[in-house]
Structure formats: C-alpha cells, structure tokens
Amino acid sequence: MAETPSIFSGVALVGSGSATPTQSLSNDQLGSRVDTNDTWIRTRTGIEARRLIGADETLTSLCCKAGANAIAMSGWEPESIDLILLATSTPDDLFGSAPEIQAKLGAKNAVAFDLTAACSGFLFSLVTAAQFLKNGSFKRALVIGADQLSSWVDWSDRRTCVLFGDGAGALTLETTNTSKEGILGFQLKTDGSRGNCLNLKQKERRESLLDGISHQVGGYEPIQMNGQEVYKFAVREVPAILETLLKRTNTDPKHLDWMLLHQANQRILDAVADRFDIPHSKVLSNLANYGNTSAATIPLMLDEAVKDGRIKPGHLIATSGFGAGLSWGAALVRWQGPD
Ligand code: ACO
C-alpha cells in the first residue's frame, strides 16, 4: 500500500490506453448471416462495424494491452500502482480477471478486483477508484473498462446482435493537490425495478445430485433486451443526470469542451446534444467503428480523442454511462494528461 498522502487530496486523470480486437465485422457481412442490412443498422444506430475477439486474443489480453498503454503514457513503473479496478460483465474468469491482469502487468503492489455494472461499469469504477485516492488510502490507480459481449449475444437475433462489439480501454488516476482536481463532481443511480429491460441471466437448469437435493448448472442465456424501453430510458435519464451534475457543479454546458457518453446509439448521442443545445460535433463518437463495447466505450473513446489531439490538457468533459441494472451515472472531469 502507498504511503498515506495528505487526506482529501485531488485526483488527476493522467494517462489513457485502449485495445481492440483485430477481427472486424461489417454491417454487410452481418447481413449475409441474419435478416438485417447496412442501411437499417446505420440509420437506426450509427454503427458500421464492430470488432470481435478472435482465436488468438482474450478479454484479459486486451485489458493488459490497454492497461500497459495507459501506464506507459503516465510514465509510471507498474510497481507504483496501488489499485487496479476492472469494470466488466464478461470476465474470462468468473472469480475475477483483475488479478491475472495485475500479475501480467507486473503491478505486484496493487490490489486488483472486478466491478460489475454493465455499461455503467467504467463510470462506477472511475468514481470508486477516485474515492480510495481522495481519502488517502491509495496514490495511484488503473481503471480498465472491457467487455466481450460477442460471447453473449444471440447471433440469430437481429434486434441485439447488430449493436455490440468487444474492446478495452483504460485510464490512470493519481492523487494531486486540489487545484488540479480532475473529478469535479459525480452522480450515480440504479433502478433495479426496471432491470428486466436488459439482462444476461443465468440459465434455469437444475440437475439432481442426490434424492431431494439438486443444484443449478452454470451457464447463461444470451442477452435479452427491450430496445425501445432502454432507448426511452437513455434519452430521458442521461440528460436529466447531466443537468443535475452541471447545476450542482455550477457549470454552463457551453463551457464544456466535450461530452463523452456511453456509445450505444448515435441517435441517443444526438438527442443529448440537442437537449443541451450544443453542436453534435462536441459529443465524441466512435461507435461507427466499434458498436457498443459496454464497459469499454468511454475509455476507448477517451483514449482515441487524447491520442488524436482532440482532448487536450485542461479540457473539461461531461461524461455519462448507462445500461443494464438499470444503472446510470455522470461525472464532470478535467483531463490533465502526463506531466
Ligand atoms: N435489421 C433490420 N430490421 C430490424 C433490426 C435489424 N437489425 N432490428 C429490428 N428491426 C425491425 C423490427 O423488427 C421492427 O420491424 P416491425 O416494425 O416490422 O416490427 C423495426 O425494425 C423497428 O424496430 P424498433 O425496435 O422499433 O427499432 P428502433 O428504432 O427502436 O431501434 C434499437 C432499435 C436500435 C435497438 C434502439 O431501440 C436502441 O438503440 N435502443 C437502445 C439499446 C441500447 O442502448 N442497449 C444497450 C444498453 S447498454 C448495456 O448495458 C449493455
């Protein structure tokens, strides 16, 4: 564990990284397998292609690549990391994949664990990691968001299979003095009563063990989603939570450099931009290339925009994630980048 720094310090966002599978699947290719087509997918979602983890890759290998990338950008030694949080709903190991990532990265002093909150997972993990830093428990954290939903969609169900892809993104956080604060506010929400809109549920399959004693057999149903309900939820709750966050932090939407939202559907991104009367170009979007990569979308998009120079040190970003649970959240962050 790191030496305890001054209590209630600030948290700086210093490095980013990402990794996507090499296999790409276009809308046209998908259309040769299920009853869908490029025009429908592009006009209803904005998605043109998605990446799928291939035979020579795993979710863990993508996480290690994304994590190593972010550590390198930060100029850190892996041994200096105190905490690794992996946001995922699809770990390679149900007991948690973060420990294997810790070992492979050589981050031997870090405590490492998984956190599950579907597409809100990265945002929830970012806020969780920041609390450990702010209360003085840790100095440096690596937060990874990654998912492999290609394993869990029904590839014959055109209502869901066109939407998702695989990927990983990572962000490093470090304690700093409060004048350089990188997490200026956050809001997190859950409404379990609406959870049946979007599920990846265990199969109901029991086997008898002995007379009168049975057990559940492990295994999951493919993703089940009520697309219209999830769409309505997103266009109602994402602007609402952002509005609350901006009000509480005294931030005029016009002063934001970027909005960085969960990449689920271009129509959702555009609706949020319209609600705040900001140009669509200020809402970062890369879902055309990757589809919805669940917990990975926000750090994947962040890393792309940092690397191509759109996001610059000092930029103010309103970010929001939403998805299964139902769960949703928002954070107002300032990108610092490496020293
Ligand atoms: N190709 C062609 N036609 C299709 C397809 C497809 N892939 N999918 C549906 N259709 C058809 C339907 O059958 C329907 O036909 P009908 O009118 O003859 O019955 C028609 O298109 C319209 O279907 P809708 O479901 O009304 O289409 P909609 O415009 O709502 O778009 C979509 C569907 C894209 C799923 C949208 O509702 C959406 O984006 N919802 C949000 C989903 C989401 O973000 N999920 C992830 C959350 S994150 C997480 O936690 C994993």
Using CA atoms, how far apart are residues 298 and 177, in angstroms rounded to an integer?
25
Using CA atoms, how far apart are residues 98 and 38, in angstroms rounded to an integer?
37
Give the closest residue to 134 by CA, choosing from 257, 230, 222, 11.
11
Distance 307 CA to ligand 1 centre (A): 32
To the query of whether residue 63 is one of the catalytic residues in this protein, the response is no
What per-residue confidence (pLDDT) applies to 67? 98
pLDDT band at 35 (very low <50, low <70, confident <90, very high): very high
Name the residue at shortest CA distance from atom 36 of ligand 1.
Answer: 227
Ligand 1 pocket test, pick from 230, 235, 238, 261 with the greatest ligand atom count within 8 Å of Cβ, gives 230
Q: Is the pLDDT of residue 8 over 80?
A: no
Ligand 1 pocket test, pick from 43, 156, 231, 237 with the greatest ligand atom count within 8 Å of Cβ, gives 231
To the query of whether residue 262 is one of the catalytic residues in this protein, the response is yes
To the query of whether residue 292 is one of the catalytic residues in this protein, the response is yes
Please report the beta strands in the chain, taking only residues with DSSP state E, as ranges in sequence order.
10-19, 23-26, 49-52, 83-87, 111-115, 140-148, 166-176, 183-190, 198-199, 206-210, 213-216, 224-225, 258-261, 316-323, 327-334
Domain boundaries, the chain: 1-194+222-339
Among candidate residues 64, 119, 161, 197, the one labeled active-site is 119
Question: Could you name the CATH architecture of 1-194+222-339?
Answer: 3-Layer(aba) Sandwich (3.40)
What per-residue confidence (pLDDT) applies to 5? 44
Using CA atoms, how far apart are residues 33 and 153, in angstroms rounded to an integer?
14
Mean pLDDT over 86-109 rounds to: 98
Atom of ligand 1 lying closest to residue 267 CA: 39
Distance 227 CA to ligand 1 centre (A): 5
Mean pLDDT over 215-227 rounds to: 96
Residue located via tokens 């490492």: 112
Predicted structure pTM score: 0.95
Q: pLDDT digit string (tens) for 233-255? A: 999 999 999 999 999 999 999 99
The phi and psi torsions of 172 (rounded to 5 degrees) equal -105, 145
Distance 71 CA to ligand 1 centre (A): 38
For residue 223, the Cα-to-chain-centroid distance in whole angstroms is 17
Using CA atoms, how far apart are residues 134 and 180, in angstroms rounded to an integer?
13
Ligand 1 pocket test, pick from 44, 235, 261 with the greatest ligand atom count within 8 Å of Cβ, gives 44
Count the alpha carbons within 13 Å of 96 in the hemisphere toward its beta carbon. 14
Averaged confidence pLDDT in the chain: 95
Q: Is the pLDDT of residue 127 over 70?
A: yes
DSSP letter at 137 equals S
Look at residue 14 and give its three-state secondary structure. strand
